[in-house]
Structure 1
Amino acid sequence: MLSSNTISNLMYRVYGWMSMALAMTAATAYYVAHQPQLLMAIFSSPAITVTLALLQFGLVIGLSMLLPRISFTTALVMFVAYAVVTGLFLSSIFILYTYSSIYTTFLITGGMFGVMSLYGYFTKSDLTGLGNILFMALIGLIISTVVNIFVQSSGFETLLSAFGVIIFTLLTAYDVQRIKRIAMGMLANETALSQIALFGALQLYLDFINLFLYLLRFMGRRRN
């Protein structure tokens, strides 16, 4: 079992890798948004859009499933690739929303994420049972989102965005506690520590990105 200092150092590594991925996503999105030809090439061609979507899905699923069986370098390359591909898709938000609302939403997301991270790390409450509820809620959210693609209800979209904010806010606390508990049951070897750090970074990266997107849909100001 790891000592408290080792667990704290591990969590620093988790947040370090997560921050690196977020920075790469943000830089990629901002760069592509200011390259009209590249932006047009990505979103005007269904073949390119679908290919990137499949690549994004494949990378995150592959990384989640193969992480214990691949080298840390390979896993890190996959994580970086996923962050960049996500940035390609997120470049569209600079076209849809005003810069001020994007920056404001990002700051709010950071604040909410930070508070829930601290709660998940320090709380004595067992959040294990919350995970099953949130998983089912997430499945319902995904199905409802697909349905709304055909229904095209703005009111329903607002409601889904509010539920998305709640789900990923709670998931942040749950995932932080889960990462901490996994670490507490590990032996102190560098390979295992590196793998759990990258696994935790991926989980929290997904929580942050989704929380940001649902907040942006809920409170972002669209361009005319």
Structure 2
Amino acid sequence: MANWNEPRPTGLGFGGAPGVAGQGDAAVFDAGLRKHMLSIYNYMTSGILLTGIVAMLFAGSGMAAQVMTGGALRWLIILSPLAIVFAMSFGAQRFSKTTLQAMYWGFATLMGLSLSTVFLVYTGESIAVTFFATAAAFAGLSLYGYTTKKNLSGFGSFLIMGVVGLIVASLLNIWLQSPGLMWAISALGVLIFAGLTAYDTQRLKAEYAYLRGTDFAGKAVILGALTLYLDFINMFQFLLSFLGNRE
């Protein structure tokens, strides 16, 4: 997802540890890598839980039905998370870690307001089933991305192009209102974000070798959490089109 203008691995297998000479150094590197990735997963999980709680509370209060049916406030809620993603991605070098943290929690909260509409459209049971299905799929795909020796970097450009295609097709379907196109978009969306989950996990793991010990390492944790959060939420939304039962 976001690049952050950091150095990329060149000529090394993913999971390789540049500059790690001895067995003791390798153990230190592996411990640091586990801590780094665990921090990313903790931030991501906390953000998703915050989004879910906000969505449930906003929908349960009745405010979602009033606010999200139309008007300027609806569009502000929908577009604000996108603005924060761009700001975090392109302004990471300028922002402090504390600022990025605040932006991330603000983003997760606004996403909760935006996603509150799913509780107005789908049954709570089907939402829960879809959430746990997404969580299981995400865990498996992320584990694959973390442990595989296969270099997935070649899929990155292809998957990003797929995301752009999904956006274009979704905008086009606003006017066409084609059920067939909607199902195709959902199916491709699940596949694309499943691939991105594995790809992004491997990329974040590989980047640790170049970020450890730098001032940017703490920021990279938050940005990595944002990347995996987006993979999870998008996969959840596309899966909901198949597994969700409407009210």
TM-score band w.r.t. shorter chain: over 0.9
Q: Following superposition of structure 1 onto structure 2, how do residues 42-53 of structure 1 map, counting pairs within 5 Å?
A: 42-53=67-78
Computed over aligned residues only, the root mean square deviation of the Cα atoms, in angstroms, reads: 1.3
Single out whichever of 64-73 and 25-34 deviates more from structure 2: 64-73
SS in 1 for 2:36: helix
Aligned to 2:88: 63
Hey, which bits of structure 1, 4+ residues long, moved more than 4 A?
A: none
SS in 2 for 1:27: helix
Check conservation: 2:44, 2:229, Cα contact below 8 A: yes
> In structure 2, what is the Cα distance between the partners aligned to 1:65 and 1:185?
19
Check conservation: 2:134, 2:232, Cα contact below 8 A: yes
SS in 1 for 2:245: coil
Q: Following superposition of structure 1 onto structure 2, how do residues 101-116 of structure 1 map, counting pairs within 5 Å?
A: 101-116=126-141
Aligned to 2:11: none
1:166-191 Cα offsets, whole Å, 9 max, x none, are 000000000001111111122424x3
> In structure 1, what is the Cα distance between the partners aligned to 2:163 and 2:54?
27
TM-score when normalising by structure 1: 0.95
> In structure 2, what is the Cα distance between the partners aligned to 1:101 and 1:54?
26
Q: Which amino acid aligns with 1:8?
A: R
> In structure 2, what is the Cα distance between the partners aligned to 1:40 and 1:18?
28
> In structure 1, what is the Cα distance between the partners aligned to 2:100 and 2:163?
26
Single out whichever of 208-217 and 52-61 deviates more from structure 2: 52-61
> In structure 1, what is the Cα distance between the partners aligned to 2:114 and 2:211?
36
> What's the % identity of the aligned pairs?
36
Q: Following superposition of structure 1 onto structure 2, how do residues 31-42 of structure 1 map, counting pairs within 5 Å?
A: 31-36=57-62, 38-42=63-67
1:58-77 Cα offsets, whole Å, 9 max, x none, are 11110111122211111000
Work out whether 1:4 is the aligned partner of 2:30.
yes
Aligned to 1:89: 114
Work out whether 1:16 is the aligned partner of 2:42.
yes
SS in 2 for 1:155: helix
Offset of residue 53 of structure 1: 2.6
Structure with a larger share of its residues in helix? 1
Offset of residue 222 of structure 1: 1.0
> In structure 1, what is the Cα distance between the partners aligned to 2:223 and 2:93?
9
Q: Which amino acid aligns with 2:44?
A: M
Aligned to 2:237: 213
Q: Which residue of the other structure, out of 144, 154, 157, is the alignment partner of 1:132? A: 157
1:70-107 Cα offsets, whole Å, 9 max, x none, are 11111000000000000001111011001111000000
> In structure 2, what is the Cα distance between the partners aligned to 1:109 and 1:53?
22
Offset of residue 51 of structure 1: 1.8
Given the superposition, is the C-alpha separation of residues 174 and 136 from structure 1 closer, same or farther in structure 2, using an over 3 Å criterion?
Answer: same
> In structure 2, what is the Cα distance between the partners aligned to 1:35 and 1:92?
12
Offset of residue 52 of structure 1: 1.9
Q: Which residue of the other structure, out of 201, 221, 241, is the alignment partner of 1:176? A: 201
Q: Which residue of the other structure, out of 164, 169, 178, is the alignment partner of 1:144? A: 169
The answer for unaligned runs of 5 or more in structure 2 is 1-17, 19-27
> In structure 2, what is the Cα distance between the partners aligned to 1:90 and 1:147?
22
> In structure 2, what is the Cα distance between the partners aligned to 1:40 and 1:101?
19
Offset of residue 196 of structure 1: 1.1
Offset of residue 194 of structure 1: 1.1
The answer for unaligned runs of 5 or more in structure 1 is none
SS in 1 for 2:93: helix
TM-score when normalising by structure 2: 0.86
SS in 1 for 2:68: helix
> In structure 2, what is the Cα distance between the partners aligned to 1:187 and 1:137?
31
Work out whether 1:26 is the aligned partner of 2:26.
no
